[in-house]
Structure 1
Amino acid sequence: MRMFDLFYEDYFKMRREEILAAIKNTEGRTIMAETIISTFPLLDGVSNPETAAAFSADMITLNTFNFEAPFVFGYDDSHLSPLIGIPDYAMEIQKVILKNKEDLQYIQNLKKVVGRFLGVNLEPVPEDSSYPKGLRCTEENLRKAKALGFDYVVITANPSTGVTSEGILEGIKSARTILGNETLIAAGKMHGAGAGNIYDVEIIDAFIDAGADVILLPAPGTVPGFTVDLAKNFIDLIHNKGALAMTTIGTSQEGATESFIESVAQMSKMAGADIQHTGDCGVSGMTPPENLLRMSITIRGRRHTYRKMSRSPHRVR
């Protein structure tokens, strides 16, 4: 089974081992789209995860999802009219958040709308950080991620969070202990976010030994000096250790030209990436849809891209 061959019901039946197998079988043609869900989406009345899915993303990561205040703009507020005024709008949002906090099916219900594998970013920030508690990689949030049924977690660093490689390592260990063998774990940094980088053989080894299934690396051309050859060296190491590699565009270049996206997609594929990630800082909390489309066509052609886009979200086998 390959990612672009999946039917709607597969996204609800498949667990970690099946997802990993599907990624391997897809031979470097899996796309992960990261989306900010804590602000107004690109399209009014449509959440960013829904738009990313429509433009052929296979895995969709929720960034800034707050476990203490679960709310996805464009999904939870689609019934509200902005004409009610800001104070009333804010009050209605708080009512929805309180309801969502008690709903253990919240993510599964969102998944029914999006029809893709859903993951969440978690940040292993220092204990003295002022970063919101609901966004941190803590035991409490990991248990909530498991209870809500996220397909995967991404242990990483947003800019200015102070996250270190050691913090990510401890986060992986905690995640594997709490999540067990059903939830996929991706870990690493997309660029120089947090404190320091992970472009080190020993650190990558440690991440994999701790239980990471997928290691994040900058895509060639997105970080100074990160060439195809350098990416391939790290990816070969990751593969030799039995893990998968994901090249990432997390430098706002996800909002660059389509030709740039095509170039990065080609280089990442040459380097051997299993998953290609595109970030959330293009426009309004996601990669521009046309850039997602260009990445997909570049690495898997029009046939598989159009099939992914055209197949009804609720079509079953």
Structure 2
Amino acid sequence: MQRILNCRTHDFAKPAAASELVQAIVASEGRVIMAEVAAGASPLYGEVTNGELLCAFGCDLLLVKGMNCRTQAIQGCENLAHFKALTGRLIGVSMEVLADPSLDDPRACNLNNLALLQEADFYCLTAYDKPGVTTERVIDALRQIRAMTDKMILVAKFYASGLAEPQEYARYVLEGADGVMIPAPASCRGASEEKVACALAAVQAVGGVGITTLSSSQEGADEDTVRQIALASKRCGADMYNFGDAGVAGMADPQALYAFSMAVRGRRHTWVRMAASLAR
């Protein structure tokens, strides 16, 4: 697989093992953008899905959040396979790690739901700061998923206190994750460039993809703020950047995403991604 920057629809249509996708992301030298789409949110404009809109503004990968794995319904289209066909991008699915692994939740991270997601190109294990959702619980879920797939697995563990210690992020990679999300500089309390850079370096040192995430509702901030966060993330050495879904209508603010893209990779790569036909 060539670097993500050079991939087009026919490249994204091919199955990619974790090792191939990781290499394609790292080879892009900090110029890959992923954006989340809330499956249950009505599209901002009824004529297109939110995913299509984000792609039109320059994102490379899409991460579907809050999807019922049994129905695979995404507002504005038929299902996950249809969503991929409409956008021509790599599509990941976020599954929430719950404190009780035995709960029969169609959106939770478990093997039953994983078996239904063969159309997904990669997975994200999302863990919020809730009672019982500990590091060990996340690692237990990660080990189970890793044993069943060779696709890329990301971990997004959030903490009310801000950032975790660098070695905790690195541990997820040592336990089987291919990449880890870390709050972008200034996106949560105490997220200084120094701390974020140390966390990213720890993940990368053990072979993982270091991802900064803008997911504290600042994905709906003004363009200048987003641009500053973008440049700070790149200075910290991130391999990839993630936008959360709280910008507008269950997705990032498309204009904020465009500003971010222009800041980290300039006009050439931004406009080519925006303009490239799905027939390529």
For residues 176 and 260 of structure 1, what CA distance do their matches in structure 2 show?
37
Deviation at 1:198, TM superposition (A): 6.3
Deviates more, 1:42-51 or 1:110-119: 42-51
What do the CA deviations read for 1:222-281 (whole angstroms, capped 9, x no partner)? Answer: 111111111111111111111111000110010010011100000000000001111100
Secondary structure of the 2:34 match is strand
| Aligned-pair CA distance for 1:294 | 0.5
Q: Deviations over 1:59-106 (max 9, x none)?
A: 100001111232111113xxxxxxxxxxxxxxxxxxxxxxxxxxxxx5
Over the matched positions of the two proteins, sequence identity in percent amounts to 30
Deviations 1:285-308 (A, max 9, x none): 011110111111110001110000
Check the 8 A contact 2:162/2:191 in 1, yes or no: no
Report whether the alignment pairs 1:32 with 2:10. no
The answer for the alignment partner of 1:239 in structure 2 is 204
Aligned pairs for 1:192-203 within 5 A: 192=160, 199-203=164-168
In 2, distance between residues paired with 1:303 and 1:163? 42
Matched, 1:175 2:122: no
State the match for 1:111 in structure 2.
84
- Residue 49 of structure 1 is matched in structure 2 by 51
Q: Could you tell me how far apart the structure 1 residues matched to 2:147 and 2:258 are? A: 37
Query: What are structure 1's unaligned runs of at least 5 residues?
Result: 77-105
* Matching residue of 2:112: 140
Alpha-carbon spacing, 1:251–1:71, altered in 2? closer, same or farther (3 Å): same
- Name the CA distance, whole Å, in 1 between partners of 2:26 and 2:253: 27
- Secondary structure class of the residue paired with 1:120: strand
Which residue of structure 2 lines up, in the alignment, with residue 187 of structure 1?
155
Of 49, 64, 67, which residue of structure 1 is paired with 2:66? Answer: 64
SS in 2 for 1:67: coil
Q: Distance in 1 between matches of 2:177 and 2:91?
A: 17
Q: Secondary structure at the match of 2:255?
A: helix
Partner Cα distance (2:132, 2:41) in 1:
23
Confirm whether residue 252 of structure 1 aligns to residue 253 of structure 2: no
Contact 1:189 1:198 in 2 (8 A): no
Unaligned runs of 5+ in 2: none
Aligned to 1:11: 12
Code of the aligned partner of 1:137: C
2:278 pairs with 1:278: no
- 1:203 Cα offset (Å): 2.4
Taking a change above 3 Å as real, the CA distance of residues 153 and 128 of structure 1, as seen in their structure-2 partners, is closer
2:133 is the counterpart of 1:163: yes
Is 1:120 matched with 2:93?
A: yes
Measured on the aligned residues, the alpha-carbon RMSD in Å equals 1.9
Q: Give runs of aligned pairs for residues 212-227 of structure 1, distance below 5 A.
A: 212-227=177-192
Pick closer, same or farther for the CA change 1:35–1:160 going to 2, 3 Å: farther
With over 3 angstroms needed to count, the CA separation of the structure-2 counterparts of 1:225 and 1:197, relative to structure 1, is closer
Please state if 1:152 is matched with 2:122: yes
Letter in 1 for 2:73: F
Q: Which has the larger radius of gyration?
A: 1
Give the corresponding residue for 2:252: 287
The 1-side partners of 2:162 and 2:133 are apart by 10
Secondary structure of the structure 2 residue equivalent to 1:133: coil
In structure 2, what is the Cα distance between the partners aligned to 1:128 and 1:150? 22
Is the 1:45–1:75 contact (alpha carbons within 8 Å) kept by the matching residues of 2?
Answer: no
So what's the TM-score if we normalise by structure 1?
0.83
Q: Is structure 2 residue 273 aligned with structure 1 residue 308?
A: yes
Q: Is contact 2:163-2:191 (8 Å) kept? A: no
Cα distance change on mapping 1:223 and 1:152 into 2, 3 Å: same
Task: Give the Cα–Cα distance (whole angstroms) in 2 for the partners of residues 222 and 32 of structure 1.
Answer: 16
Higher helix share: 1
Residue 89 of structure 1: aligned partner: none
TM value normalised by structure 2: 0.93
Aligned counterpart, 1:85:
none
